[in-house]
Structure 1
Amino acid sequence: MFLLSNVHNKNYKKCYPQESDVIFDISAKQLGNIKNAAWKELREGSIVCVVTSTKKVSTFCKVTAIKGLGDNDSDGGETFLLFGVVVAKLMPESNMGLMLSKFSVKHQYLPNNKFSIGFNVADLGTALDTLQVRTRNGSQSVADLKG
């Protein structure tokens, strides 16, 4: 499972009105930062949670596609979009730091369970697999979402 940082509350619907189901974007410059190497591990079917400025974990999405725009952004590189659909909600939503502490998550770029500067993509592996979330079919674990 992956955590993605949108702590600046970027509005993807407004930024990419011609695209539907965009849940995250990242620039080539950001991907050049070793902290974001986990982006390469994302695949169709990956489970992600995009964390906004509230620092709450609430909505889980399944990745449906990853697409490069072939553009030249302000830094002269390409922008990449992540597409997904909502598959579960955490009810009630939880403070990211407290939840990661509860599940004993240790990640070098999440000091004190907060995103470090320049860090946007965290691969948490199986650390949250036992977390119970609500789906259309009732309560399931994050591991069940992966399956």
Structure 2
Amino acid sequence: MFLLNNTNNKNYKKSYPTESDVIFDITEKQLGNIKNAAWNELREGSIVCVVTSTRKVSTFCKVTAIKGLGDKDADGGETFILCGVVIAKLMPESNMGLLLSKFSVKHQYLTNSKFSIGSHVAEMGSDLDALQVKTRHGLKSISELKEIIS
């Protein structure tokens, strides 16, 4: 499971009007930062949660596509997007810092349970597997969702 940093509240529908179900983007320059190496672990079927400026963990998506846009951004690099569909909600949503503390998450790029500067993609491994989320089939743990999706 991955946490993705959109604390600047980028509007993906507005930014990519011709693409469907965009849930996150990242630039080649951002991928050059070692803090985002976990991007290389993302696959179709990965479970992600995009954290916005509220710093709340609320909506979990299954990645349906990872695309390079073949563009050249202001830095001369390519932009990559993640597309996905909602598969679960945390009810009630939870403050990221409190949630990570509750599950004793230790991550080198989530300093004090917050994204460190330059960090956009954090792989959680099994740290949040016990978290219970609401799906259309009732409450499931992240671990159960991983099994269903794989």
Secondary structure in 1 matching 2:38 = helix
Normalization by structure 1: what TM-score? 0.99
- State the match for 1:18 in structure 2: 18
Q: Cα offset for 1:123?
A: 0.2
- State the match for 1:106 in structure 2: 106
- State the match for 2:62 in structure 1: 62
Distance in 1 (CA, whole Å) between partners of 2:62 and 2:119 is 21
Give the percent of matched residue pairs that are identical in Structure 1 and Structure 2. 78
Amino acid in the other structure paired with 2:33 = N
Q: Cα offset for 1:30?
A: 0.1
Distance in 2 (CA, whole Å) between partners of 1:55 and 1:136 is 24
Amino acid in the other structure paired with 2:8 = H
- State the match for 1:86 in structure 2: 86
- State the match for 2:119 in structure 1: 119
Normalization by structure 2: what TM-score? 0.97
Distance in 2 (CA, whole Å) between partners of 1:75 and 1:42 is 24
Secondary structure in 2 matching 1:65 = strand
Q: Cα offset for 1:139?
A: 0.3
Secondary structure in 1 matching 2:70 = coil
Aligned residue-pair number: 147
Amino acid in the other structure paired with 1:27 = T
- State the match for 2:40 in structure 1: 40
Q: Cα offset for 1:144?
A: 1.1
Which structure 2 residue ranges, 5 or more long, are not aligned?
Answer: none
Secondary structure in 2 matching 1:84 = strand
Which structure 1 residue ranges, 5 or more long, are not aligned?
Answer: none
Q: Cα offset for 1:90?
A: 0.1
- State the match for 2:28 in structure 1: 28
Secondary structure in 2 matching 1:105 = coil
Secondary structure in 2 matching 1:3 = strand
Q: RMSD between aligned alpha carbons?
A: 0.4
Amino acid in the other structure paired with 1:78 = E
Question: In the TM superposition, what whole-angstrom CA distance separates every residue of 1:78-111 from its partner, at most 9, and x where no partner exists?
Answer: 0000010000000000000000000000001111
